[in-house]
A = this chain, B = another copy of it.
């Protein structure tokens, strides 16, 4: 049997609480279904800084790279707002993405029927929404050099970041988007700012070439990223798969997530390239929400995004499609039953805490 080594990095804030529910789920799957998951745990973010003075230790990095999949909670909080840039909590996440070469970030924005009314958008605008943002994750302005602050003297400093994309990077991320579109509604919208950025010109060109060469059966549109943001707010259902760069993907996926009225519920998968021999891809799964320090430790965090991230893990890392479907079904069923954590609560619903929500989902699974 293929190995199923999971490395858990719960991180800071509500990360550990959300992860605790996934740990219960994994145990239940091992006990009842003999799923055979082996787990190990490490530190990332502020808690790693407190323990080791870095955002992730070398030992934990090595375990992450060696694991079949990494489950990631969330990092950061006011406690670490003043730590040096190089060891700030986010540096742990960025290093994981870079060193594991997780270039493809998949962020579904799904509007659960039970929650359509809780969006700030009109119900008909978001009801039934199911779009997938494919964000490039190891390039662009996140990692380009030079990236520095220069002291110019006379009280003047200069802050510099560099946006860089090479052909192969755009080719491989658009390939992922086209492949996924084929399993969905066969439509990709590529977003950049080619009217202002040279990297946008190249992005547009390479996506078009990749489309022509290998995916001409998929419908392809190009949109400027600012117009794309507007269209997401105006009528998000016009989209199926959106492919975009690291920084635009950061902005656009957060906006898409907010549309659904359920930012506490959305998972993401970050994938590397398939290994030439084993076909396995390195992978990290994390909720779209952050560490929410204001509600950490209160037992009220919504564990659904973390559990749904584990469902993506079952699907993409272990080919356990039936189990993933079942787990996503269990989440929907619990919502249909009226169970709500505080963040998604509304009159007439049953408000529950983190553990009750986790238990209810496991019971339905």
Chain B, residue nearest A197 (CB): B161
For residue A248, give the distance in angstroms from its CB to the closest CB of chain B. 8
Determine which residue in A120, A168, A225 has the highest number of CB atoms from chain B within 10 A of its CB, and name it: A120
How many copies of this chain are found per oligomer? Answer: 2
**What CA separation (Å) do A227 and B230 show in the bound complex?**
16
Determine which residue in A226, A258, A259 has the highest number of CB atoms from chain B within 10 A of its CB, and name it: A226
Contact A203/B159 with A141-B197, A259-B233 known, Cβ cut-off 8 Å = yes
Contact A158/B165 with A195-B90, A254-B230, A255-B255 known, Cβ cut-off 8 Å = yes
Flag whether A26 is at the interface (Cβ < 8 A).
no
Flag whether A114 is at the interface (Cβ < 8 A).
no
Chain A 80-118 residues near chain B, CB threshold 8 A: 85, 88, 90, 94
**What CA separation (Å) do A64 and B144 show in the bound complex?**
37
**What CA separation (Å) do A258 and B149 show in the bound complex?**
35
Chain A 234-272 residues near chain B, CB threshold 8 A: 234-235, 247-248, 250-251, 254-255, 257-259, 263
Flag whether A218 is at the interface (Cβ < 8 A).
no
A residues neighboring B (CB under 8 Å): 76, 85, 88, 90, 94, 120-122, 125, 141-142, 144, 147-149, 152, 155-168, 193, 195-203, 225-227, 229-230, 233-235, 247-248, 250-251, 254-255, 257-259, 263, 290
16 further A-B pairs in the complex, CB-CB below 8 A; given A142-B196, A149-B198: A85-B201, A122-B122, A141-B196, A147-B198, A148-B198, A149-B202, A152-B166, A156-B166, A159-B198, A159-B200, A161-B199, A162-B163, A196-B247, A229-B229, A233-B255, A234-B258
18 contacts between A and B (CB under 8 A): A85-B198, A85-B201, A90-B195, A120-B121, A122-B122, A156-B167, A156-B168, A159-B164, A159-B202, A161-B163, A162-B163, A193-B247, A227-B290, A229-B251, A230-B255, A230-B258, A233-B259, A247-B247
